Amino acid sequence: MTVIAILGNGRVGSNLATALTRAGHEVTTADRTPGAAANAARTAQVVINAMPGAGSLERLVALREELRGKILVDVSNATVDDPDGLPADLLYPGSSLAEQLQEALPQTRVVKTLNTMLFTVMTAPTALTRAPDAFLSGEDPQAKQTVRQLLTDVGWREEWITDLGGIRTARATEAAVLFVPHVIRSSGFSPFAISVAR
């Protein structure tokens, strides 16, 4: 059992909380109530950033001490959005939210994952007609192994999880979010994920 704090209680955070609790982990979800995120992160082994990407860096840097030595799983994409709320551009072109977090929080082990799919697929990968991919980016092999185990706990098969390498590789998966608005506008808001055909 892993003690997990999920920062953000929207669709992404709630979905992850339900699945991880069902898998037997101790999960706390923090909303935007003052002090909620700090209290949740302080006692957790793993902290999941399920907040909107655009404000994540500032909010997480404010939790520097609570995140020291912890694994921070970043599932967000930092984007500039169109008026309809769909991603229009990257907030950190030439970089990524995950890289910005790792640079700002050197004592925290940042792992990027689950950001290349609609949120429902994060915990129900077998619901798709074809096998999806979950990508891992991060500097700490042990942290990535812990995250890999959490992914298998919520339904991901080992062969569907690809370790891309260091945190710099997160800029590739974060850039994939630019596919999202076009896919949604062309085929609707139905579950999908980016996968590599092999």
The arithmetic mean of pLDDT across residues 145-172, rounded, is 97
pLDDT of residue 144: 98
Look at residue 116 and tell me whether its pLDDT is greater than 90.
Answer: yes
Looking at residues 20-45, what average pLDDT do you find? 94
Average pLDDT on 121-148 reads 96
Domains of the chain by start residue, with CATH: 3-187 (3.40.50.720)
pLDDT tens by residue, 87-97: 889 999 999 99
Please give the average per-residue pLDDT across 128-154, as a whole number: 97
How much is the pLDDT for 98? Answer: 98
15 has pLDDT over 90: yes
Return mean pLDDT, the chain. Answer: 95
Q: What is the mean pLDDT of residues 39-44?
A: 96
pLDDT at 100 over 90: yes
Is-above-0.75 flag for pTM? yes
Q: What's the rounded Cα separation, in Å, for the pair 198 and 191?
A: 21
Distance of alpha carbon 86 from alpha carbon 137, whole angstroms: 24
Residue 31's pLDDT is 85
Please identify which residue in the block is written with the tokens 């007609």: 129
In the structure, what pLDDT confidence band is assigned to residue 81 with cuts at 50, 70 and 90?
A: confident
With helix as H, strand as E and coil as C, how does 9-53 read?
CCHHHHHHHHHHHHCCCEEEEECCCCCHHHHHHHCCCEEEECCCH
Compare 60 and 82 and report the one with higher pLDDT.
Answer: 60
Band the pLDDT of 189: cuts 50, 70, 90: confident
